[in-house]
Amino acid sequence: MKIKVGFGFDVHQLKDQHPFVMGGVTLEHHKGAFGHSDADVLLHAICDALLGAANLRDIGFHFKNTDPRWKGISSMILLQETVKLLTEKGWTIGNIDAMLCLEAPKINPHIPQMQENISKAIDLPVEDISIKATTNEMMGFIGREEGVVAYAVCLIQKL
């Protein structure tokens, strides 16, 4: 068996009166992440971790932010397309571990739904999807609620 580990990172600007989608959950907040797709930083970081582990470049290579096909698209679709790319190369996902960094809103109550959304989208057991959240202790652009950051690592395997 061959195993590989991947790392992903994503950051999006927060804007007033914009939807805030995280892990496929729309969060109630006065600001939301802004981007070409639905700007789901969690799923973007996971996509990059998976693509990187399989040496398939990055999310921007496969889903360009200049391509109108991806404008406003749900990042769950991008995640599903990413998993298809891995499957075509013979890879399966062992686990995903992700960390969100933002001041508000509180993420903890939404983690089970995020895990369930990801699990259903990519057919990976919930117990293999870890999502955690922290603040930036009110420092920097995250502390000023100007942006949100996500990190993810994954393990993939090939028999």
Radius of gyration of the chain, Cα coordinates, nearest whole angstrom: 15
Q: Is 37 annotated as a binding residue?
A: yes
What is the C-alpha to C-alpha distance for residues 112 and 110, in angstroms, rounded to an integer?
6
**Residue 62, token pair as written in the block:** 């496969």
Assigned CATH class of 2-158: alpha beta
Torsions phi, psi of 116, nearest 5? -65, -45
Q: Is 134 annotated as a binding residue?
A: yes
**What DSSP character marks residue 19?**
-
**Residue 69, token pair as written in the block:** 């096909």
Q: Is 137 annotated as a binding residue?
A: yes
Q: Is 18 annotated as a binding residue?
A: no
What are the structural domain ranges in the chain?
2-158
Q: Is 9 annotated as a binding residue?
A: no
Query: Is residue 130 a contact partner of residue 114, using CB atoms and an 8 Å limit?
Result: no
What is the C-alpha to C-alpha distance for residues 27 and 148, in angstroms, rounded to an integer?
13
pLDDT for 68 equals 85
Q: Is 110 annotated as a binding residue?
A: no
What is the C-alpha to C-alpha distance for residues 92 and 90, in angstroms, rounded to an integer?
7
Q: Is 66 annotated as a binding residue?
A: yes
**What DSSP character marks residue 68?**
G
What is the C-alpha to C-alpha distance for residues 38 and 21, in angstroms, rounded to an integer?
7
Q: pLDDT tens string for the chain (159 positions)?
A: 999 999 999 999 999 989 999 999 999 999 999 999 999 999 999 999 999 999 999 999 999 888 888 888 999 999 999 999 999 999 999 999 999 999 999 999 999 999 999 999 999 999 999 999 999 999 999 999 999 999 999 999 997
